[in-house]
Amino acid sequence: MTKSDEEVLRVEDLHKRYGDHAVLRGVSLTLTRGEAKVVMGSSGTGKSTLLRCINHLSPPDAGRVLLEGQPLTPATLNAMRRHIAFVFQDFNLFTHLKVIDNVRLGQRRILKRSKAAATERAMQELERVGLADRAHYYPAQLSGGQQQRASIARALAMDPKVILFDEPTSALDPELTGEVVTVMKQLASEGMTMLVVSHEVGFARTAADEIVFMDGGTIVEQGPPSTLFANPAHERTRAFLKVITHQESA
């Protein structure tokens, strides 16, 4: 896949409230084919809720999401959700299944691939993330970084049009973070369409086409990494980036 101006995902004026707390307050963004966009912001600003609203794991209270121009609705949700893969921060692998079976399962049940075809594709994607030699291990036999790479392979095997990453390295020890970031950089360089919630400065600087900074349930500013890291327009963005870049260099 290569980058283009063709719009894959459009988020229009999303609102989400839990009780009296407004988590999202009118969030809009677009994602074009082959684009890698990173969403940053302090804890509690609505970043993960945004991803969950996009694929309707948590249905938004207002606003809409369009995939290739078609709105996600209760009637179209199941058919369209298969095109929006989700990589969770806590891996979400089935612990009683071997890695190969975790990667095959969605292909068999949702895409209706034969066992042979699903196995072939699973091995291709495990090779892609450097886990072909762990195909017949159980998740408990893998490191956290390997489990997350297995979950990425599972997402890729479903032929998604976009992958949502929800803080994919936050559950990992620092020494395991790099192996997951390396895979994500590879996917970005290959033109995978990605929306990533992450504080990984190195990934954001080198692999993201655009940074989106959120605060208080809204998008404060967005732009290319070179602009946002060097010259953010808002004081809130400056303060946040100062903290995370200091943590990276510490």
Position 242 confidence tier, pLDDT thresholds 50, 70, 90: confident
What is the Cα–Cα distance from 220 to 102, expressed in whole angstroms?
38
Query: Are residues 12 and 136 both part of a single domain?
Result: no
**189 and 74 within one domain:** yes
Domain boundary among 159, 178, 197: 159
* DSSP symbol at 76: T
3-state SS class at 170: coil
Q: What is the pLDDT confidence band of residue 16, given thresholds at 50, 70 and 90?
A: very high
Contact 234, 242 (CB under 8 A): no
Do 45 and 107 sit in the same domain of this protein?
no
Q: Which residue has the tokens 């260099």?
A: 249
Please indicate, yes or no, whether residues 168 and 153 belong to a single structural domain of this protein. Answer: no
Given 95, 126, 159, which residue is the final one in a domain?
159
State whether 165 and 43 are in the same domain.
yes
**Three-state SS for 40?**
strand
pLDDT interval class at 81 (50, 70, 90): confident
* DSSP E strands, 81-167: 84-87, 162-166
Partners of 197 in the β-ladder:
39, 166
* 98 and 72 belong to one structural domain: no
| Torsion angle, alpha carbons of 110, 115, 117, 120, to 10 | 110
Question: Is the pLDDT at 216 greater than 70, yes or no?
Answer: yes
Instruction: Please indicate, yes or no, whether residues 79 and 201 belong to a single structural domain of this protein.
Output: yes
**Mean pLDDT, residues 99-125 taken together:** 97
Of 156, 181, 154, which Cα lies nearest the Cα of 167? 181
Q: What confidence score (pLDDT) does residue 79 get?
A: 86
Q: Can you tell me the distance from the alpha carbon of 241 to that of 80, in angstroms, rounded to the nearest whole number?
A: 35
Closest CA to 162 of 64, 85, 216: 85
Strand order in the sheet with 84-87: 84-87, 162-166, 194-197, 36-40, 210-215, 218-223
Total domain count for the chain? 2
165 and 232 share one domain: yes
Q: Is residue 109 located within the same domain as residue 150?
A: yes
The pLDDT of residue 136 is 98
- Give the domain-ending residue among 159, 184, 211: 159
Is 250's pLDDT higher than 80?
no
Does 95 share its domain with 136? yes
Supply the pLDDT for residue 249: 57
Residue type, 45: T
Element (H, E) at 11: strand 7-18
- Dihedral angle of Cα 217, 220, 226, 229, to the nearest 10 degrees: -80
Expressed as residue numbers, the domain containing 131 is 86-159
pTM here is 0.94
Instruction: Give the CATH number, domain containing residue 44.
Output: 3.40.50.300
Identify whether residues 110 and 131 lie together within a single domain. Answer: yes
Amino acid of residue 140? A
Regarding whether 205 and 122 lie in a shared domain, the answer is no
Strand partners, 163: 85, 194
> In this structure, are residues 135 and 150 in contact, taking their beta carbons and an 8 Å threshold?
no
Sign of CA dihedral 237, 182, 66, 91: negative
Q: What are phi and psi of 44, to 5 degrees?
A: 85, 10
